[in-house]
Amino acid sequence: MSYTELKKINSALISVYHKDKLDAVVRLLETLGITIYSTGGTLDFITGLGVEAQSVESLTGYPSILGGRVKTLHPKVFGGILARRNNAQDVAQLSEYGIPPVDLVIVDLYPFEATVRSGADAQAIIEKIDIGGISLIRAAAKNFADTLIISSREQYPALIELLQSGKGATTLAMRRTFAARAFQQSSYYDTAIFNYFNVEEKLPVFQQLLTDSVPLRYGENPHQEARFYGHLNELLEQLHGKEISYNNLLDIDAAVALINDFSETTFAVLKHNNACGCASDVHPLTAWRKALAGDPVSAFGGVIVTNRPVDAESAKEINELFFEVIIAPGYSGEALELLKTKKNRIILVLKNTALPAWQFRSLLNGIAQQNRDTAVETPENFTPVTTKKPAEKEIVDLLFANKLVKHSKSNAIVLAKDGQLLASGVGQTSRVDALKQAIAKAQTFGFSLQGAVMASDAFFPFPDCVAIAQEAGITAVVQPGGSVNDEKSIGYCNEHNIAMVTTGVRHFKH
């Protein structure tokens, strides 16, 4: 049979969990003179429309048993679906056993994922593992040469259009397309079930399937193709602006992860996944001004994020800056109108800050997986290791700086004071270079480092960093500790009246 040759549908099997939108399909099948077979609640729905249909039980001679667990699992059902119409032996056996061919199968699956999300108990979840439906889908998809499979209610409009244009006939190309969708559906369903069980079993298997996707303008560079897979609308709502790009997504991901660690009113500006400005203050406008002051040059074209709704007063000043994206839990009406004055500016509402527990990255010819770094140190996690202990104000700044260094590319150093990022050195091949970069940057923007604090994402292998920091005016340091040379850095701090605390937690980010 050629890909374009039309094949008439004479019979259909319908067995669905969701009945919405089905009525239009059923009435069209009736109009086209197609014989309908159905089961249980679906049969009741169809006959309730005044449309004639035959029960599967009358075909098989067996009732639905085991509380509905077994309805369609019978040779007279699957034989009609799987029989090859161009195979003489198959056709003869259909006749011998009184099995009617089935040309169209419409079936959907029990809502397994929705049941898991609802918090139902284990037994209720197990009962939503579909057996008959998934078997019907696979059988019809396998025999796409003769059978059309409709595996979800989202496909009903396409089915109606297809039946109307073909007057109840389909081509091999059409059936193959729907078969591919059906196997995707069954694969997704089985993956969801596997991942439910694997929460406890923890089999070392990487198995993910995301059905929602959007094409991106391009990847990191214009010559690279890109696509985003996932349910971005569950996390963010776009109120205004152009399509989000691949690079936008990388910065948005970094921004959301960073702001998640702050409970105080905070603004941050990110560029290339690193914070170039960040500040916390009880007054949102003050937090914004201090964040921007951290590096007003790098802020140009950056991504802004805050954990408080944006008011008109803040929006007026934010609007003076050219930036790509702003993310906030909300905006006042006046603030939104101000920010929308630039047509391409992306304005996002952060609806849900819960990020996935696991992170994945393609590496070489495989995928690496790790659980997300959710560690956020508190004063209780600070172990003083020097004679001088940090003052209360320094502890607040050390906590602030430590959050920022966690979200900075390694090697990273952060310098902070009064809840403000003064400067950072990020992505350097040595910690000394990261510190020198941070000091130079702070000086460029006129910041005094006297009384400032320093955070490092990893330990100091030598005392050179604390020596350079002390000469710049740093009075307190937080670092993971763990170097064989820790005592050298601690000794230098003791000799020069610097407070140092260790956390025991490294925050590399590559």
| Residues with catalytic function | 142, 272
Beta bridge pairs of residue 424: 414
Q: Yes or no: say if 425 and 436 are a contact pair by the CB < 8 Å rule.
A: yes
The widest CA-to-CA distance across the chain, in whole angstroms, is: 98
Q: Apex CA 307: angle with CA 303 and CA 313, to 5°?
A: 80
With 0-12 CB in 10 A as exposed, 13-18 as middle and 19+ as buried, what is 382?
buried
DSSP secondary structure string for all residues of 398-445: HHHHHHHHHTSPSS-EEEEETTEEEEEE-S-SSHHHHHHHHHHHHHHT
Using CA atoms, how far apart are residues 272 and 254, in angstroms rounded to an integer? 9
Residues composing the chain: 510
Cα 88 to chain centroid distance, Å, stands at 50
With 0-12 CB in 10 A as exposed, 13-18 as middle and 19+ as buried, what is 244?
buried
Q: Yes or no: say if 348 and 239 are a contact pair by the CB < 8 Å rule.
A: yes
**Phi, psi values for residue 389, rounded to 5°:** -100, 145
Q: Are strands 358-363 and 366-371 parallel, antiparallel or unpaired?
A: antiparallel
Using CA atoms, how far apart are residues 78 and 13, in angstroms rounded to an integer? 11
- Buried-state track 44-75, b at ≥16 Cβ within 10 A, e below 16: ebbeeeebebebbeebbeeebeeeeeebbebe
Residue type at 214 in one-letter notation: V
**Phi, psi values for residue 227, rounded to 5°:** -150, 145
Q: Is 132 helix (H, G, I), strand (E, B) or coil?
A: helix
Q: The tokens 């700044």 sit on which residue?
A: 397
